[in-house]
Structure 1
Amino acid sequence: MYAIVRNGGGQTKVAVGDVISIDQVQAAEGDTVQLAAVMLVDGDEVTAGADASKAKVDAEVVGGLKGPKIIIQKYKNKTGYKKRQGHRQKYTQVKITGITK
């Protein structure tokens, strides 16, 4: 059985035992979080829509990490204005512990 969960601006396919990175959540290492299921597949049976919103995906927080550094540069012609800025997105790693209908 696997589920497709909402993750930030996208969706991720997960099964029990998978370790995935999601947008940062305020939870300590070892805490349990629930992810919103968009679709649930159990063998040949596919559940989506309102029925899938009843499904629960439980995950245990494994740790935190940062994504790659992104450089933002701004420049305006003829004025001498230059600005350079960096950004690293923070993620939380979770291990999927259970999927319930």
Structure 2
Amino acid sequence: MVYAVVRAGGRQEKVEVGTVLIVDRVAADDKGTVELAPVMLVDGDTITTEADKLSKVKVTAEFVEDLRGPKIVIQKYKNKTGYRKRIGHRQELTRLKVTEIK
């Protein structure tokens, strides 16, 4: 079993070939692929975490779609002053499918 832990969007995700993951918005190249930075690689019984060996490892993902997260409502309120403020936020996201780990 081969899997990798990659750094994607400020978080670390465990991925295998065929895994679909949602990360913060990233731009794909002309071919629609994205390189993810590996933090750890597990190949059967071998675990690789050293930076010089991980520099040779490539985790490639295919761009699937851009999407937006759920709406988050932020409200501020101060008692007895009439101050109320309401704003919202939707995070820009990208769905990726891991195609190869080599």
Q: TM-score, normalised by structure 1?
A: 0.89
SS of 2:91's partner is strand
Q: 1:58/1:14 Cα in 2 relative to 1: closer, same or farther (>3 Å)?
A: same
**Corresponding residue of 1:46:** 47
User: Size of the alignment, in residue pairs?
Assistant: 100
Displacement of 1:84:
0.7
Identity of matched residues, %: 60
SS of 1:36's partner is strand
**Corresponding residue of 1:92:** 94
| Ranges in structure 2 where 5+ consecutive residues have no aligned partner | none
Letter in 2 for 1:95: K
| Ranges in structure 1 where 5+ consecutive residues have no aligned partner | none
Cα distance in 1 between the residues matched to 2:22 and 2:85: 31
Cα distance in 2 between the residues matched to 1:12 and 1:23: 12
Displacement of 1:13:
0.5
SS of 1:68's partner is coil
Alignment root-mean-square deviation, CA: 1.7
Runs of 4+ that moved beyond 6 A: none
Cα distance in 2 between the residues matched to 1:64 and 1:30: 16
